[in-house]
Amino acid sequence: MQVYEKLYIDGKWVMPSSTTGIEVTNPTNEQIIGKVPAGGTSDVDLAVSAAKKAFPIWSKSSIEERINILNSLSNEIKERTEELAQTITAEVGTPIEYSRMAMVGTPRVVTRSYAKILENFEWEEEVRNSLIVKEPIGVCAFITPWNFPLHQIIGKVAPALAAGCTMILKPSKEAPLNAFLLAEIMDKIGLPKGVFNLVSGHGSEIGEYMSKHSGVDMVSFTGSTNAGIRVSQAAAPTVKRVTLELGGKSANVALKDADPILVGKMAISGCYQNSGQTCSALTRLIIPSEMKEEVCQVIISRIERYTAGDPLDENTRCGPMVSLKQQESVSNYIQTGINEGATLLSGGLGMPDNLDSGFFVKPTVFADVSPEMTIWKEEIFGPVLVIATYESEEEALSLANDSIYGLSGAVWSASQEKAINFAKEMRTGQVSVNGGHFNVSAPFGGYKMSGNGRELGLQGLEEFLEVKSIQL
């Protein structure tokens, strides 16, 4: 069991103001695997004070020092890959190979990418008689989710370090242990005290308090849309910058000239990565009506290979939901889909075969889903794929954009040009064309109720900068 009794504030491990703790449950076997402090508002005050004190020095640190810190951080993440991956799999239930690759490997690459960006970043430019200067925004508060815990932390921490900001992190209470490992790494690489501070606790208490804190210049939140709205409301009186990466209900569109076999194969992984607990998951498959039978047959024939079970088994493709609450929520959506008349192609209610414990649900596929159905409109956040058909590509675009969200999407076509033209019409933050891979150097974020602001790449760095104009 991993038990942490102290918080990381001002470069040292300190006792929290309360003796209350948060237990961490392994969703695979329902056993308690760790405990972290439930920090309070006074702990946040200490962390904000430390970050404010550290800001004048860190904001003036050399680019070379920041590059060295970022490269050291990336190297240490690499050195502790297995420990981090095992921890995240135990906390979240992510299949272990995916943990190694996406949960730890991607944050390592993201961290190094900001070291590279700093090598050529232009901090000043002259525009006629003005000198335009970019400066770090100040003290940042980070509130992060459980589904990609370390990746979502690093997506905020790395660009903030690169920008010269100081920070306070509140990790998810479902998956906080990896954040404490990160704090150990920060301590080891010699980051100046007060630059990075870790306060674990409950979002309803310290998350809201961080958002409204007058000593915080920016809050960056990743999580549900409803919680993001509350963060924005709490931050509004202090008019601080707020960036939000929220929910999604992303469309995966096959144009009429697409390969139906390829579409069917790729639709499964596009929806079910991380057991469907992914904000950018391609959960709505939109296909031509004439392609329906073939695509559905491909999906049915292949979904049985998407094994649900112990995430430490290298053959497992689908782990548990993160909690009993999430298991119940996904199961309720499956029942709603059945009740509203969608055609259940595979999966359904109950535990997967040969499993009698853990927070599992069956990987599920619904066909004949129409836009008025709940499972079409709402983010399920589990391994549930919904399929709708269209007659014209104008209708396909209308279906793709028929969502309050706009985080991700995909288009398939024999013509890349045609697919790109369709992608440009989709109201969403990023679109994969014919299986184009995720790019850590490209901006990530959403339209509409999927949030505002961008993470990753150059745009992710600029979120942490103020722009000053000096007239000469």
- Catalytic center residues: 245, 279
> Helical H runs in 304-444?
324-339, 374-377, 393-400, 416-425
Cβ neighbours for 331, distance < 8 A, ≥ 6 positions apart: 349, 361
Pairing of strands 7-9, 12-14: antiparallel
> Rounded to whole angstroms, what are the CA distances from 86 to 92, 255, 311, 372?
10, 40, 10, 41
Helices (H), 61-148: 63-79, 81-92, 96-98, 106-120
Mapping DSSP to helix (H, G, I), strand (E, B) and coil, where does residue 51 land? helix
Tokens representing 325 are 């609450």
Task: Say how far apart CA 382 and CA 320 lie, in whole Å.
Answer: 9
Question: What three-state secondary structure class fits 263?
Answer: helix
- Which strands form 124-127's sheet, in the order they lie side by side? 124-127, 130-136, 465-471
Decide if 35 contacts 1 (C-beta within 8 A).
yes
Inter-CA distances, 131 with 127, 298, 471, Å: 6, 59, 6
Task: Tell me, letter by letter, the H, E, C secondary structure of 332-359.
Answer: HHHHHHHHCCCEEEECCCCCCCCCCCCC
